[in-house]
Chain A
Amino acid sequence: MIVSTHQLRKEYGATVALRDVELRVPAGSVYGLVGPNGAGKSTLLSILAGLRSASAGTIEINADHARVAVLPDTPQFDSWLTGREVVDLARTLAGPAVPVDRVDEVLEQAGLTDAANRSVGGYSRGMLQRLGVASTVVGDPMLLMLDEPSSALDPAGRREVLDLVARLRGEATVIFSSHVLGDVQEVCDSVGILREGELLFQGPLNDLLVGSAVPHYRVSLRPPIEPAAAALRAAPWVRSVEPMGAAELRISVDSVEDAETHLAGVLAPTGARVVSFGPEAATLEQVFLELTS
């Protein structure tokens, strides 16, 4: 784990912002921290970044401080600096070992080469966000914390930032906080769900989507489907069977493990011509609503 916390707690007077959070961020992952507004995402990131102190608990970050970078949700810079100067300042602060050429490299990746010598006071919000990402990655960080990096952007700006984050996969560990679940599902491989300061779930995104509260399986087969449906309804681990047109069944099961173990055995004696079957992938939004409602 590159980041782990133990019993991490933050209180503002009587308000508990974080409740004994046990965060585990695998090295090399793109970790999505999701939750409704006020869930504690920004507070958690601020504590990890050293910008706020925890009321209790411990934090372990297995990365050199100089190689940890943070991007706030709406990055701002001195308006009289040029984009290149901002990134160059970030490069200098990241350490003398980072070559000057790296500035132009990250500006190009962020699509800011043409605007590099303009004052950032004239940059659009999307450009500022991309400049923020550029100045965050210029020092080749091991760990990046991005707080709602795409929330305030138009679709084109959001696409650019998501592409930038996706390109970081394999190069660094990214903690990506967002309440835009589609963005998290698109770029993250691990996820943590926060609600009212409590970490309700964390782990690989696939585990969350496949192993949602009531797992479902989809079976695609040649008509007729009724013999297979009748056999499945009789199985004790099947909760319900729902025909989805003439050639597909949606099966609600007690657990994914039951389906993996018994599904083929139930279908075989019916003589059904099975085209495919597999777990139904829930969307992050569905799972999120199940967990947080």
Chain B
Amino acid sequence: MNLWKLEWIRLVRTKRWIALLGVYVFFGLVGPLSARYLGEIVEQFGGGIEVTIPPAVPADGMAQFVSNASQLGLLVVVVVAAGSLAFDAKPEMGVFLRTRVDRVWDILVPRLTVSFLAAAVAFVLGALAAWYETAVLLGGLPVFGTIAGIGYGVLYLALVVAVVTAAASRAENVLGVVLITVVVLLAMPIIGIIGSVGRWLPAHLVGALSGIPGGTAVGDYLPAAGVTLALTGLCIWLAVRWSQLREL
């Protein structure tokens, strides 16, 4: 048993992998379906009101997946990562780990990495499901652009897990970690309202998976990707620093 295997076992035995995979794959399958049949759905529940909806295009399939996954999916990622990274939430467990490693970094790296990889795999599988179903129901998507969109989405998840890591080094419990992270993630789109700042913010990457197939250039997301990378590094640095200074 080592700290890497511990994280793997945590995912498996606590069934957290099912929550991650379930939410992304579910929305991957449902998103394009709801885009394809949106007109019929609205007609069914519209109460006689006539609503004209333009025919769905392939990008709409991914847009439906993105809109659902970027909310509930992200929340699941935050909760799962917080459960792993808030190792000081129970001080006795923190003592067990902290007194057995030379540096707190040794505890953080496996938790950070496994949480990110689990979230990334779930997201990629969900995106692939959405891609497949979009291709079947609405038509093909550009291969390079879709892969690039998935890549940007994965990069955004790296930032999400890094924010959780930083929050876990300050908050007293898992709920606190989740709340801090959610507030930070919600604040970003709000800041994006200001002028042209939006294309530099990490939240811009969330829409890449639907934006690129819809015609936005892959390069349009590069500024946000650069900022996201920088912020991810900053959050991890802060997490290490704060964890070192933390007293149990």
Is A201 on the interface with B (CB-CB < 8 A)? no
Interface-central residue, A69, A70, A91, by most chain B CB under 10 Å: A70
Residue A94 lies at the interface, judged by CB distance under 8 Å to chain B = yes
- Given A80-B13, A92-B2, A51:B99 Cβ within 8 A: yes
Q: Is A76 part of the contact surface with B, judged by Cβ < 8 Å?
A: yes
Judged by a CB distance under 8 angstroms, whether B247 is at the interface is yes
A72 touches B95 (CB 8 A): yes
- Chain A residue contacts of B90, Cβ below 8 A: 76
Within 8 Å by CB of A78, from B93, B95, B98, B101, lies B93
Q: Are B247 and A80 in contact (CB under 8 A)?
A: no
Among residues 189 to 248 in chain B, which have CB atoms less than 8 Å away from a CB atom of chain A? 247-248
B9 at the interface (CB under 8 A from A): yes
One of A50, A72, A94 near B92 (C-beta < 8 A) = A72
Main secondary structure of the interface of B (DSSP, over half): helix
Q: Which residues from A are CB-within-8-Å of B100?
A: 69, 90, 93-94
Is A77 touching B1 in the complex (CB atoms < 8 A)? no
**B247 neighbours in A (Cβ, 8 Å):** 46, 51-53
List residues of chain B with CB within 8 A of the CB of A69.
Answer: 99-100
Q: Is B10 an interface residue (CB 8 A)?
A: yes
B residues less than 8 Å from A74 (CB atoms): 92
CB distance from B88 to the nearest CB of A (A): 10
Q: What's the nearest-Cβ distance from chain A to residue B163, in Å?
A: 24
B-contact 0/1 string along A31-75, CB 8 Å cutoff:
000000000000000100111110000000000011011101111
- The reply to whether A77 and B13 form a contact with Cβ atoms under 8 Å apart is no
For A52, the chain B residues whose CB sits under 8 A away are 247-248
CA distance A78 to B102 in the complex (A): 21
Stretch of A81-89, A154-162, A164-172 lying at the B interface? A81-89
Q: Select which of A65, A73, A77, A92 is within 8 A of B96 by beta carbon.
A: A77
Interface size on A, residues (CB 8 A): 29
Which B residues lie within 8 Å of A93 (CB)? Answer: 2-3, 97, 100-101
Contacting pair A76 B2 (CB below 8 A): no
A89 pairs with B102, CB closer than 8 A = no
Asked whether any CB of chain B lies closer than 8 Å to the CB of A135, the reply is yes
Cross-chain contact B6 with A89 (CB below 8 angstroms): yes
**B6→A49 contact, CB < 8 A:** no
**Least CB separation from B94: chain A residue:** A51
Chain A residue with the shortest CB-CB distance to B95: A72
Residue of B10, B98, B102 near A80 (CB, 8 A) is B10
Structural contact, A85 and B1, CB atoms closer than 8 A: yes
Q: Within residues 1 to 41 of chain B, which ones have a CB less than 8 A from any CB in chain A?
A: 1-3, 6, 9-10, 13-14
**B55 at the A interface (CB under 8 A):** no
In the bound complex, do residue A92 and residue B1 qualify as a contact, i.e. CB atoms below 8 Å apart?
A: yes
Determine if A88 and B1 form an interchain contact, defined as CB atoms under 8 angstroms apart: yes
What chain A residues lie within 8 Å of B97 (beta carbons)? 93
A76 to B87, CA, bound (A): 11
Q: Is A51 within 8 A of B10, CB to CB?
A: no
Tell me the minimal C-beta distance from B135 to chain A in angstroms: 40
Give the chain B neighbours of A72 by CB distance below 8 A.
91-92, 95-96
Contact (Cβ within 8 A) A51 B98: yes
- In the assembled complex, the CB of B177 is this many whole angstroms from the nearest CB of chain A, namely 17
Bound Cα distance A96, B139 (Å): 55
**Cα(A116)–Cα(B120), bound, Å:** 35
The CA of A81 and the CA of B10, in the complex, are separated in Å by 9
Query: Is the beta-carbon distance between A80 and B9 smaller than 8 angstroms?
Result: yes
- B244 CB to closest chain A CB (Å) equals 10
A residues near B14, Cβ cutoff 8 Å: 80
Bound-complex Cα distance A50 to B247 (A): 9
Give the Cβ gap from A95 to chain B, nearest Cβ, in Å.
10
A49 to B248 Cα, complex, angstroms:
10
User: What distance in Å separates the Cβ of A161 from its nearest Cβ neighbour in chain B?
Assistant: 16
Most chain A C-beta atoms within 10 Å of own C-beta, residue among B10, B91, B96: B96
Name the B residues within 8 Å of A77 (CB-CB).
Answer: 93, 96
A89:B1 contact, CB within 8 angstroms:
yes
Return A48 CB to nearest CB of chain B, in Å: 10
Which partner residue on chain B sits nearest A92 by CB separation?
B2
By beta carbon, the residue of chain B nearest A88 is B1
| A-B contacts, 18 listed (Cβ < 8 Å) | A46-B248, A49-B95, A51-B99, A51-B247, A52-B247, A66-B102, A68-B99, A70-B99, A72-B91, A72-B95, A78-B6, A80-B10, A85-B1, A88-B1, A91-B1, A92-B1, A93-B2, A94-B100
Given A51-B98, A135-B96, 5 other A-B residues pairs in contact with their CB atoms under 8 A: A50-B99, A51-B95, A76-B96, A77-B96, A90-B100
- Interface positions of B (Cβ within 8 A of A): 1-3, 6, 9-10, 13-14, 90-93, 95-102, 247-248
Q: Lowest 3 A-B CB distances belong to which pairs? A: A93-B100, A76-B92, A88-B1
User: Which residues of A are in contact with B by a Cβ distance under 8 Å?
Assistant: 46, 49-53, 65-66, 68-70, 72-78, 80-81, 85, 88-94, 135
